[in-house]
Amino acid sequence: MAVKSSGRWLVLAVPYLWLLALFLVPFLIVFKISLSTDAIAQPPYEPVFDLAAGWEAFKESFSALSFDNYSYVLSWDNEFIEAYGSSLWIAGVSTILLLIVGYPIAYGMARAPKSIRPTLLMLVILPFWTSFLIRVYAWIGILSPEGLLNQLLIALGIISPDQPLQILATNTAVYIGIVYSYLPFMILPLYSALEKMDDTLLEAAADLGCPPFAAFWKITWPLSLPGVFAGCLLCFIPAVGEFVIPDLLGGSDTLMIGKVLWTEFSVNRSWTVSSAVAVLLLMVLVIPIVFYQNLQAREVEGR
Amino acid sequence: MRKGLSWFNTTSIALGFAFLYIPIILLVIYSFNASRLVTVWAGFSFHWYVQLFHNQQLLDAAWVTLRVAFLTATIATVLGTMAAITLTRYGRFIGRTLFSGMVYAPLVMPEVITGLSLLLLFVAIGLDRGFWTITLAHITFTMCFVSVVVQSRLVTFDRSLEEAALDLGCTPFRTFFVITLPIILPAVVSGWMLAFTLSLDDLVIASFTTGPGATTLPMRIYSQVRLGVTPEINAACTILIAIVTVVVIIASIMTKRQEMERQKAERLAAAG
């Protein structure tokens, strides 16, 4: 488009400046505060950069910055490293479970007659529109010791009434919660990859005597890989920082970094340590995030 | 292998949907339970719904949430659509990589990080925390979702229509409102709805960026859930589910009707 007008630049500038001010700048502030020390003041950290105090004072504030919060977070004496590790582990296991659960569903949907596909798609998206909190909450009633699952198992005589299954407040409950809440995010990219697939490829394979299972591994699976990557990243990255699910379904021994950050911030009231935790979490996730961005940019912008 | 559902396909779809829906259905059923104990069925009753409408705190929270969500969705739709146009129509420009990074990163960014960083920004610039800070925070992360939804529509549409309008002397501004917007409207509307529900739903970012006097419904529900499961919360959840279901079904019927009309028009055009 050769048309140049101020309107054209406004369309670019408004969202650009908005995201700079409310997405990028906040990260710089988090980074700066992660290098500060806690103080009993408002705001509860120092140094506070104050340009009005003059250049000398400004320079002096710089020398007050330190990496103490990082050495605190990265020391083996504290639980943080363990929390990062167990968050990555829980998110990783959940992502694999999601793929195992989501793939057959997406595959079935892509095989379904064209006329019912939009309905199936809507049925997958519908739970996503209902509140995340509600969906997690629903599982408390099911998994608790006197909950519906135990009642059912007792009624069926599978377990005895005085020994109900302890699922709530364990990591198993966290896995169930993550798989349940993130399932639409896994199914949708898988479905869109599988739906685009050309069926004649499978027909050709069958004609040439390839058994269906081998055809699946040689044709369907490789062609669905973009969907697999997109789905896995879409689930894995937010799951690492998950807070609500481990808090409501997990036990006291469920260690996840999102919960640790929250506790550090709202219970221990250390803004500087929680900032350091956030910066390190971001550093752990930066590679998958960049990978996801590229995938998304290629998919959405059609480049 | 032919198109069509095998035994395996049908089973996996059926099990998948059972997994997705049974917990929600159970939650709805138990909201009509007469007993205070959530897991013991004691007969059908509207008791908890009546109770709910006398819970002033919950109603206040619902009102705050709706206002935040409405403002958020409206502003985020405008900003997100602008971002989508920039990314699909502007080609290369300086800082494009940074911009597209900032549009996609919030989609996967853990909420605790977004929430904390926005809070620290609001404190640093001395903004009073409350209704407006929650709204600003929500606009920021929902506009990215809107942008992705609108972009996917912008990429698939026939650009010759826009070019024809421009060639005939229509200003870019008018071209957008006369040609582009009507075509991408379904995507813009679903972007609005997505932003609305994301805002309605958000607990973590709102908890970070709120201040005294602005408690949203998820925050209220969360603090009650932590104290234990109560049928009253089930009732509140059921009402929310009912609203969302009705809106989504109406929206999908509307898009279906639009699609059918378009196909009819195309058939007529082809025949004549």
Domain spans in chain B, listed from the N-terminal domain onward: 59-228
Cβ of B39 within 8 Å of Cβ of A302? The answer is no
Same domain, yes or no: A43 and A86: no
What digits encode the pLDDT tens for the residues A169-213? 899 999 999 999 999 999 999 998 998 888 888 888 888 888 888
Best probe of the B interface among A3, A24, A29, A275, by most B CBs < 10 A, is: A29
Of A38, A66, A94, the residue that ends a domain is A66
Residue A17 lies in a domain: no
Q: What range defines the domain where residue A31 resides?
A: 27-66
The 3-class secondary structure across chain B, one letter per residue, is: CCCCCCHHHHHHHHHHHHHHHHHHHHHHHHCCECCCCCCCCCCECCHHHHHHCCCHHHHHHHHHHHHHHHHHHHHHHHHHHHHHHHHHHCCCCCCHHHHHHHHHHHHHCCHHHHHHHHHHHHHHCCCCCCHHHHHHHHHHHHHHHHHHHHHHHHHHCCCHHHHHHHHCCCCHHHHHHHHHHHHHHHHHHHHHHHHHHHHHHCCHHHHHHCCCCCCCHHHHHHHHHHCCCCHHHHHHHHHHHHHHHHHHHHHHHHHHHHHHHHHHHHHHHHHC
Kindly calculate the radius of gyration of chain A based on its CA atoms and give it in whole angstroms: 25
Cβ of B110 within 8 Å of Cβ of A112? The answer is no
Same domain, yes or no: A258 and A114: yes
CB nearest B4 (choices: A111, A139, A301): A111
Q: Which of A34-48, A158-172, B32-46 has the highest mean pLDDT?
A: A158-172
Of A40, A66, A92, the residue that ends a domain is A66
Best probe of the A interface among B12, B93, B243, by most A CBs < 10 A, is: B12
Same domain, yes or no: A153 and A241: yes
- What CATH number has the domain bearing residue A254? 1.10.3720.10
What digits encode the pLDDT tens for the residues B39-53? 677 788 888 888 888
Tokens of A140: 């408390």
Cβ of A5 within 8 Å of Cβ of B173? The answer is yes
Same domain, yes or no: A146 and A100: yes
Same domain, yes or no: A138 and A272: yes
Cβ of B39 within 8 Å of Cβ of A148? The answer is yes
Chain A's closest residue to B196, CA to CA, is A129
What digits encode the pLDDT tens for the residues B49-91? 888 888 888 889 989 999 999 999 999 999 999 999 999 888 7
Residue A22 lies in a domain: no
Best probe of the B interface among A8, A87, A124, A133, by most B CBs < 10 A, is: A133
Instruction: Tell whether domain B59-228 is in CATH 2.40.10.10.
Output: no
- Per the structure, the count of domains in chain A is 2
Same domain, yes or no: A109 and A230: yes
Same domain, yes or no: A105 and A41: no
What digits encode the pLDDT tens for the residues A52-72? 666 777 777 777 778 888 888
Distance from CA of A76 to the nearest CA of B (A): 23
Residue A151 lies in a domain: yes
CB nearest A130 (choices: B6, B39, B241): B241
Question: Over chain A, what is the mean pLDDT?
Answer: 86
Distance CA A103, CA A121 (A): 14
Same domain, yes or no: A53 and A157: no
Residues A206, A247: contact at Cβ < 8 Å?
A: no
Of A19, A43, A66, the residue that ends a domain is A66
Same domain, yes or no: A180 and A251: yes
Size of interface A-B (CB pairs under 8 A): 271
Same domain, yes or no: A150 and A261: yes
Chain A's closest residue to B99, CA to CA, is A16
